[in-house]
Amino acid sequence: MLVIYFSLREQLAANYLQREELDEQKKQIEAEQKDSQNEKYFELTYKLVEKLADAAHRNEAVFAEVAQHDYWWNYEHNLSTDNKEHEEADRKWLSYVWRIGDMHNLFSLVVNRMESEILALDQKQLLASLVDLQYISKLNECRIAYQGLFKDVEQNRPDQLVLIDEQRERLFTYEQSLQDRINEEAIPFG
């Protein structure tokens, strides 16, 4: 009986060690999968930021001229009687509106991805800084053009300016929340 007792006890101890090893291997595999998922997610999000920056660069004329075309659409459109001028201006204005809309959709996709919990805080900071530098800076220039043309721009904002301001505000708020999280993590708890 003693031999059976000791062999069972040894078997239970061996099973316990084996279970701990399996749990440790499982944790290691999960950590590797999480790192791999993070890396792939970051790479894809980075590529989307590059696409947004490329779109912003290709559409610099849109940012430079949309305020003028918006001004024409809002104030001078009804004054003009030349149908050919109307058609050309309408086409250009609609083209600008669609391009800004497309960039806005890409911007929203990028920010939604940045807001996920998959990315690390430093990755989020890097991506937000790139978006700010390569895209929001162009929106800021566009906003200045609107302020120069529209006298009552703060009270009566055209739709395109509302869209531009929403994008600027969303990234600014996101960057502030990232900074708050960084500050919280830097505070030593005693």
**CA atoms of 33 and 12, how far apart (whole Å):** 31
**CA atoms of 168 and 156, how far apart (whole Å):** 18
**Residue 149, in any domain of the structure:** yes
Q: Identify the domain containing residue 117 by its residue range.
A: 41-185
**Residue 76, in any domain of the structure:** yes
**Residue 8, in any domain of the structure:** no
Is 171 a residue whose pLDDT tops 90? yes
**CA atoms of 7 and 3, how far apart (whole Å):** 6
Q: What pLDDT is recorded for position 129? A: 93
**Residue 168, in any domain of the structure:** yes
Average pLDDT, the chain: 87
Q: What is the mean pLDDT of residues 154-181?
A: 87
Q: From start to end of the chain, where are the E strands? A: none
**CA atoms of 37 and 118, how far apart (whole Å):** 8
CATH code of the domain containing 181: 1.20.58
**CA atoms of 88 and 90, how far apart (whole Å):** 5
pLDDT tens-digit series, residues 142-152: 888 888 888 77
CB atoms within 10 A of CB 11: 10
3-state secondary structure of 189: coil
Is 189 a residue whose pLDDT tops 60? no
**Residue 10, in any domain of the structure:** no
pLDDT tens-digit series, residues 39-54: 999 999 999 999 999 9
pLDDT tens-digit series, residues 73-115: 777 666 556 677 777 877 888 888 889 889 999 999 999 999 9
**Residue 23, in any domain of the structure:** no
The total of structural domains in the chain comes to: 1
13: buried, middle or exposed (CB in 10 Å: 19+, 13-18, 0-12)? Answer: exposed
**Residue 154, in any domain of the structure:** yes
**Residue 18, in any domain of the structure:** no
Sequence-distant (6+) residues with CB within 8 A of 176 are none
3-state secondary structure of 132: helix
Residue of 66 and 12 predicted with greater confidence: 12
Q: pLDDT-based confidence at 166, cuts 50/70/90?
A: very high
